[in-house]
Structure 1
Amino acid sequence: MASPLSPQTITCKAAVAWGPGEPMSIEEVQVAPPQPMEVRIKVVATTICRSDITLWESRGHIPIFPRIFGHEATGIVESVGEGVTDLREGDHVLTVFQGECKKCRHCKSDKSNACETLGVEGNGLMHSDQKTRFSINGKPIYHFVGVSSFSEYTVVHSECVVKLSPDVPLGKISVLGCSVATGFGAAWKIANVGKGSTVVIFGLGAVGLAVAQGAKLRGASRIIGVDINPDKFERGKIFGVTEFINPNDYKQPTQEVVKEITTGGADYCFECVGNVELMRTALESCCDGWGMAVLIGVPSGKMELSAHYGPLLNGRTLKGTLLGGWKTRSELPTLVEMYMKKEIQIDEYVTHELPFADINKGYQLMKEGKCLRCVLHVVI
């Protein structure tokens, strides 16, 4: 029998998606206590990521509903499960969709951040026991990538959170849980962009602009943004974009435009949309010999990439990245520290702030391309 001090089930409000593309419904849900090696978090702020929309619409993906989305968030540990030793009630944390067990082959290697134990959860259930911690009147409600931050309380594996110092503001920094860390790391860590190089970024959302910031800090001399939304061009300059290409302004394919203005192709190209045709365009926009195309976007439709072997045979490299290559618990704190020292921009990615109840408005703003990141303030 549980002792009086054991965590009990909490009833709170959450934004539940009942079916693909259906508006979120604010419901009262039951959140079970954390199980061994888990923590229950009181969510303070959460942001809407493009992948929240892609999987909500279930384009090209297996639909898992009813579900609570959300994975970029900050909050306060409310209770801890058995075996958790490095976190305690009251700790401030940042959630991440991929953990770091520090024990598996990948966690021990300096070549990977793909934890074998706590990789991206894809079936809507918790890693530990393949069950859900959410329910409504006994009906299971599924998780999203092990986080589900569109809820006043959520349960997360303790090795899928980053502990924050109490002086770190719990709000806009939630974007470091996915988008900004992913883009920044793709340029800074995965590509290791060289000084004086030419970079082309396909897609100027939050991820693409984070690539621009990382490339700028690495010393890139030309950072070319490619997007069909001209409204993003001025904002791109804030993060280091020096030139812009709107494919709709040209009759020839974008890769030919890039090759023409770069005299043979870019040193680095980053695909930040999740379009497989654009991925091929990125590869073909690279120069021979050393050009590198880095794939970041999550596909929302066709998922098979086909490309001619020629560019690869001629020395180009095609790479993929998840969360920018960062080991979550041991390396993401470095980005938090850089933010606190004002060495990197974070707040500038947040263009809208809304109360949690307006989550559907936030989704619409994202779908229409009217915002980079929208912070939802979760008031309990």
Structure 2
Amino acid sequence: MVHDGQSRFSINGKPIYHFVGTSTFSEYTVVHVGCVVKISPLLLLTKSVFSVVESPHVIAKMTDGRVDRSVEYTGHIDAMISAFEYAHDTHPMNLMNGMTLKRTFFGNNKPRYDLPSVVEKYMNKELELEKFITHKLLFAEINKAFDLMLKGEGLRCIC
């Protein structure tokens, strides 16, 4: 919504705030038009989740410890080092030798323009997403989804 510091949600008279302006853990939400991305109406809504919540243990097992690209969102230094090591056959000290560690917000992409092409690739079977879904849970079980992720037992839970 407008950056006025106000919440558009409340429960029992107390405000509930958005997470990054979208409230993606809500069953219903009110968002600023700038947060809305139009996607193909042919896409099943149950398949329209494109983020992957990584568990380093699961990723390492699936990829023999290496990935082409690694994205870390928490800002926790140990997670940042792990993300760097998974993406490079090197030690973080090699940053001093010219390797780059880039910090961005939302991966430096433009969702309004980039997400429709991701949806198109998925619909054309150029992008496999189902293999990342390890659990399907009820929305009321969202805490179980986080527990599975933290234990390294769930790569992506759909709630």
| Alignment equivalent of 1:244, drawn from 65, 81, 88 | 65
User: Does 2:45 align with 1:170?
Assistant: yes
Please report the TM-score for the alignment, with normalisation by the length of structure 2.
0.76
Aligned pairs (5 A) from 1:152-301? 152-174=27-49, 176=50, 178-179=51-52, 205=54, 227=56, 229=57, 232=59, 236=62, 241=63, 243-244=64-65, 270=70, 272=72, 274-277=75-78, 279=80, 282=84
Mapped partners of 1:278, 1:160: distance in 2: 27
Q: Report the equivalent of 1:364.
A: 147
- After superposition, what is the alpha-carbon deviation per residue over 1:253-274, rounded to whole angstroms, capped at 9, x for unaligned? xxxxxxxxxxxxxxx7746475
Give the superposition deviation at 1:375.
1.1
Q: 1:130 to 1:169 in 2, by over 3 A?
A: same
Name stretches of at least 5 consecutive residues in structure 2 with no aligned partner. Answer: none
Mapped partners of 2:80, 2:60: distance in 1: 21
Assess if the C-alpha contact under 8 Å between 1:271 and 1:278 holds in 2: no
Partner-residue secondary structure (3-state), 1:145: coil
- After superposition, what is the alpha-carbon deviation per residue over 1:214-263, rounded to whole angstroms, capped at 9, x for unaligned? xxxxxxxxxxxxx5x3x5555x2xxxx3x338xxxxxxxxxxxxxxxxxx
Q: 1:130 to 1:338 in 2, by over 3 A?
A: same
Name the structure where strand makes up a greater proportion of residues. 1
Partner-residue secondary structure (3-state), 1:154: coil
Mapped partners of 2:99, 2:140: distance in 1: 47
How many pairs are equivalent? 155
Assess if the C-alpha contact under 8 Å between 2:52 and 2:155 holds in 1: no
Q: Report the equivalent of 1:59.
A: none
Aligned pairs (5 A) from 1:16-95? none
Q: Report the equivalent of 1:148.
A: 23
Assess if the C-alpha contact under 8 Å between 2:95 and 2:101 holds in 1: no
Mapped partners of 1:167, 1:134: distance in 2: 30
Q: 1:134 to 1:318 in 2, by over 3 A?
A: same
Mapped partners of 1:359, 1:338: distance in 2: 28
Partner-residue secondary structure (3-state), 1:167: coil
Assess if the C-alpha contact under 8 Å between 1:173 and 1:346 holds in 2: no
**Structure with higher RCO (Cα < 8 A, 6+ apart):** 2
Q: Report the equivalent of 1:135.
A: 10
Partner-residue secondary structure (3-state), 1:351: strand
- After superposition, what is the alpha-carbon deviation per residue over 1:93-127, rounded to whole angstroms, capped at 9, x for unaligned? xxxxxxxxxxxxxxxxxxxxxxxxxxxxxxxxx43
Q: 1:350 to 1:172 in 2, by over 3 A?
A: farther
Give the superposition deviation at 1:149.
3.0
Q: 1:269 to 1:361 in 2, by over 3 A?
A: closer
Give the superposition deviation at 1:280.
5.0
User: Does 2:136 align with 1:353?
Assistant: yes
Mapped partners of 1:129, 1:341: distance in 2: 41
| Higher Cα Rg, which structure | 1
Name the structure where helix makes up a greater proportion of residues. 2
Q: 1:286 to 1:139 in 2, by over 3 A?
A: closer
Partner-residue secondary structure (3-state), 1:318: coil
Q: 1:275 to 1:269 in 2, by over 3 A?
A: farther
Give the superposition deviation at 1:373.
1.3
Assess if the C-alpha contact under 8 Å between 1:354 and 1:374 holds in 2: yes
